[in-house]
């Protein structure tokens, strides 16, 4: 367990030379074994005994003869990997039933024959990946608003507040859109998400299909940038609620995060591909909330045309009645 940063309390990962939030240096290496007096030393290769010099191409000290490289402790920037795998609460049969029920929901622009004619092409369990972070933040803000303005439309205001953000989800999924992940996240309860991981092999067997787990495809440094952008956006929303008046402009926010803890989660969903009238559509079935489905549905163009014709007829009638009154 790596102790958190002593300045801002944020968690540190293995290989952090400085705190990614406040730049405080992590504990330095021990200086034991240093010489007591001044000594001049030639660093020798452990293999062949030749002198070692720093090599610009290798970015490390390298032996000039046998090219052996001395390993250096650098800032680690590994690819992110999921650590929490909340269990599926919806099995394959329940997911199929939810999809069929979703087809039957009456929608005005949807073809009436959807529930009877749509065919499931594929329905597979998938885990989409995201960062979930908790953080405390001091937010300083400044903005112009109409409150207190005199001859000008605007008057300046500023303030500072403390805020806690918990279980903020930042999607790292490439397969699911931002809109889809935003709709799915409220239905993952944090006690399920951070419960001990299920046996993933047994889960695949129980579901009858292998569970595809998305990869983050993002390095730690890029992930930290994304979460800090997300925190900035949240702070702007919180600050906007505190600006007095009914109109504002030039909202500026400075965030000082503390005790930032980030967890990498692979959330369960089912991705369904269904065919209607020869065309393929996609729907997402929630992996924990029973009966929750989002996705695209086909459009009944005959209904759209009919609605446009009715609107045109009403408009024409309105024009005739207005001109008749003149």
Partner 1 sequence: MVHYECRNCGAGLTVESNQIAVVCTFCRDPSIIERPPRSDRPLPSFSLGFVIQEGRAQAAANRRIARAWLAPQAFRRARAETVTGVYVPTYLYSAHCESDFKVEIGEQYQESETYTTTENGRSVQRTRTVTSTEWYPLRGRYSAYVERVVSASSGIPNPELEAIEPFDLRALHRFRAETLAGFAAEEASLPTATCWANAREEASAEVGERISKFLPGDSQRSLEQRVDFRNEDLTLALLPVWVLAVRYHPERRVVRMLINGQTGALYVRTPISKYKVLTLAMVVIGLCFLALWKSGVFE
Separation between Cα atoms, residue 181 and residue 192, nearest integer Å: 17
Residue 59 within binding range of partner 1, rule CB under 8 A: yes
Residue 160 within binding range of partner 1, rule CB under 8 A: yes
For partner 1, which is the closer residue by CB, 33 or 196?
Answer: 33
**4: buried, middle or exposed (CB in 10 Å: 19+, 13-18, 0-12)?**
middle
Residue 77 within binding range of partner 1, rule CB under 8 A: yes
For partner 1, which is the closer residue by CB, 26 or 183?
Answer: 26
DSSP classification of residue 216: -
| Span 237-276, contacts to partner 1 by CB under 8 A | 249-252, 254, 256
Separation between Cα atoms, residue 280 and residue 271, nearest integer Å: 13
Residue 21 within binding range of partner 1, rule CB under 8 A: yes
Site string for partner 1, 122-151 (x = CB under 8 A): ----------------x-x-xxx---xxxx
Residue 56 within binding range of partner 1, rule CB under 8 A: yes
Closest distance of CB 138 from partner 1, Å = 5
Residues touching partner 1, count (CB under 8 A): 62
DSSP classification of residue 44: B
Using the rule CB under 8 A, which residue among 48, 51, 308, 318 binds partner 1? 51
Separation between Cα atoms, residue 292 and residue 251, nearest integer Å: 37
The DSSP H or E segment spanning 301 is: helix 301-325
Closest distance of CB 249 from partner 1, Å = 7
**88: buried, middle or exposed (CB in 10 Å: 19+, 13-18, 0-12)?**
buried
Contacts 24+ apart (CB under 8 A), 1-9: 4/259, 8/256, 8/257, 8/258, 8/259, 8/260, 9/258, 9/259
Closest distance of CB 205 from partner 1, Å = 43
Residues 291/90, Cβ–Cβ less than 8 Å: no
Residue 14 within binding range of partner 1, rule CB under 8 A: no
For partner 1, which is the closer residue by CB, 174 or 249?
Answer: 249
Closest distance of CB 81 from partner 1, Å = 20
| Span 214-233, contacts to partner 1 by CB under 8 A | 221
Scan for tokens 């495809």, then name that residue.
217
3-state DSSP of 188-212: CCHHHHCCCCCCHHHHHHHHCCCCE
Closest distance of CB 80 from partner 1, Å = 16
**203: buried, middle or exposed (CB in 10 Å: 19+, 13-18, 0-12)?**
middle
Residue 54 within binding range of partner 1, rule CB under 8 A: yes
For residue 72 the two structure tokens come to 């250096």
Residue 8 within binding range of partner 1, rule CB under 8 A: yes
Closest distance of CB 139 from partner 1, Å = 9
Binding site for partner 1 (CB under 8 A): 6-8, 17-18, 21-25, 28-29, 31, 34-43, 51-54, 56, 59-61, 70, 72-75, 77, 138, 140, 142-144, 148-160, 221, 249-252, 254, 256
């Amino acid at each position: 367990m790596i102790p958190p940063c002593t300045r801002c309390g944020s968690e540190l990962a293995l290989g952090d030379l400085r705190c990614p939030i406040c730049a405080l240096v992590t504990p330095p290496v021990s200086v034991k074994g240093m010489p007591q007096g001044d000594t001049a030393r030639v660093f020798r290769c452990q293999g062949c005994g030749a002198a070692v010099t720093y090599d610009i191409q290798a970015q490390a000290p390298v032996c000039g003869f046998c090219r052996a490289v001395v390993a250096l402790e650098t800032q680690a920037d590994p690819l992110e990997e999921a650590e929490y795998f909340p269990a599926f609460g919806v099995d394959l049969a329940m997911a199929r039933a939810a999809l069929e029920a979703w087809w039957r929901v009456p929608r005005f622009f949807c073809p009436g024959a959807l529930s009877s004619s749509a065919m499931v092409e594929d329905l597979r369990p998938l885990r989409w990946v995201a960062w979930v972070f908790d953080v405390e933040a001091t937010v300083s803000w400044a903005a112009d608003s109409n409150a207190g303005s005199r001859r000008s439309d605007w008057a300046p205001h500023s303030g500072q507040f403390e805020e806690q953000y918990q279980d903020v989800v930042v999607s790292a999924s490439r397969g699911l859109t931002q809109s889809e992940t935003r709709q799915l996240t409220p239905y993952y309860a944090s006690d399920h998400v951070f419960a001990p991981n299920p046996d993933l092999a047994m889960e695949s067997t129980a579901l009858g299909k292998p569970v595809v787990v998305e990869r983050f495809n993002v390095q730690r440094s890029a992930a930290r940038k994304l979460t800090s952008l997300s925190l900035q956006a949240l702070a702007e929303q919180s600050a906007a609620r505190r600006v007095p008046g009914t109109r504002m402009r030039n909202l500026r926010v400075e965030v000082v995060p503390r005790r930032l803890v980030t967890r990498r989660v692979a959330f369960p969903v089912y991705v369904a591909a269904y065919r209607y009238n020869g065309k393929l559509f996609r729907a997402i079935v929630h992996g924990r909330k029973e009966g929750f489905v989002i996705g695209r549905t086909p459009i009944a163009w005959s209904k759209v045309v009919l609605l446009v014709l009715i609107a045109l007829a009403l408009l024409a009638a309105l024009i005739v009645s207005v001109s008749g009154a003149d």
